[in-house]
Structure 1
Amino acid sequence: MTDAVITGIHHVKFPVRDIATSIDWYERVFGFTFELEFPDEDGVVRGVAGTIPGLGDAGIALRENPRAAEGFAGFDPVSFGIADREAAEAWVIRLDELGVEHSPVINASIGWIVSFHDPDGTEIRLYSFAAHGLDTSGLAGHARPRA
């Protein structure tokens, strides 16, 4: 008998308005390789799934759903992990080269973040696994220990 435990993240699915635009953006920014396509009843491909380097076994899916994409605008459903501040700074350089608007490197609750938006306005955060050691618990919007 198998234990009822979570063993990882299988995939993350983003709602998008236009599948072709999003495939292009995720390829350019993250090196997304799409391996599966999902045609609807009408035969039109409205979803794709694939991989992004660095995510291990976790996949990424894009699903054309304009209403859901609108609802996600400004929301950050996932933070992708990066190593440390130097990695955050490297992403700032990469995003500048790609012409993708982004935040500066931010001292977040635990580590460093770079934040930007996909073509539909979904906020993507790159969050460092390395901690900066700063006490940000008194700052608005930052985490604090459970009371």
Structure 2
Amino acid sequence: MSSFPGLAHIAITVSDLSASTAWYSALFGAAPVLDEDEESGTFHHTVFALDGGMLFGLHTHSTSGAPSTFDERQVGLDHIAFQCSSDTLPQWRDRLDSLGIEHGGIKSAHYGSGISFRDPDNIALEFFAPPA
């Protein structure tokens, strides 16, 4: 084995598939490439193709767990970051503004710069630019 493989896809569980599909379609500027019940019948997935071959999936399950909203302080996912360059961060900020998506503005640190925002289920997202 030469190196650890990169991520192939991310899948998140959402509370309202229709609303989340519309929200992510606007954010990504693209329609899903897949929208179907998984063959086991236990969940439905809607999948977007992102640059670099990465897939981003939205899931709903046929059985429900405890109702809740996302909280990064709980064990599990903290946030998802979409990589960009520091030159394009202002464009992503402007895109979020044009879509009416609240965000924390561009924040810079020694390890990179980013813009934090949340999806309809309060899942923490970020546009992140590593240091040049």
TM-score after normalising by structure 2:
0.78
Candidates 35, 57, 62, aligned match of 1:61: 57
Q: How has the CA–CA distance of structure 1 residues 69 and 38 changed in structure 2, closer, same or farther, with 3 Å as cutoff?
A: farther
Which position in structure 2 is the counterpart of 1:113?
Answer: 114
Identity across matched positions, percent: 27
Higher strand share: 2
Deviation of the 1:123 alpha carbon = 0.7
- Quick check: 1:20 aligned with 2:18? yes
**Residues in 2 aligned to 1:122 and 1:97: alpha-carbon distance in whole angstroms:** 20
Candidates 3, 25, 29, aligned match of 1:31: 29
Is the Cα–Cα contact under 8 Å of residues 10 and 57 in structure 2 kept in the other structure? yes
Which position in structure 2 is the counterpart of 1:136?
Answer: none
Q: Unaligned regions of 5+ residues in structure 1, if any?
A: 132-147
Moved over 4 A (4+): 65-69
Is the Cα–Cα contact under 8 Å of residues 47 and 56 in structure 2 kept in the other structure? yes
Letter in 1 for 2:82: F
Is the Cα–Cα contact under 8 Å of residues 85 and 129 in structure 2 kept in the other structure? yes
**Residues in 2 aligned to 1:79 and 1:69: alpha-carbon distance in whole angstroms:** 25
**Residues in 2 aligned to 1:9 and 1:16: alpha-carbon distance in whole angstroms:** 20
Is the Cα–Cα contact under 8 Å of residues 73 and 120 in structure 1 kept in the other structure? no
Q: Unaligned regions of 5+ residues in structure 2, if any?
A: none
**Residues in 1 aligned to 2:68 and 2:110: alpha-carbon distance in whole angstroms:** 28
- Quick check: 1:6 aligned with 2:4? yes
CA deviation string 1:30-50 (max 9, x = no partner): 124312223268x79732122
Deviation of the 1:96 alpha carbon = 0.8
Q: How has the CA–CA distance of structure 1 residues 70 and 25 changed in structure 2, closer, same or farther, with 3 Å as cutoff?
A: same
Deviation of the 1:68 alpha carbon = 7.9
Root-mean-square deviation (Å): 2.8
Letter in 1 for 2:83: G
Which position in structure 2 is the counterpart of 1:130?
Answer: 131
TM-score after normalising by structure 1:
0.71
Number of residue equivalences? 126
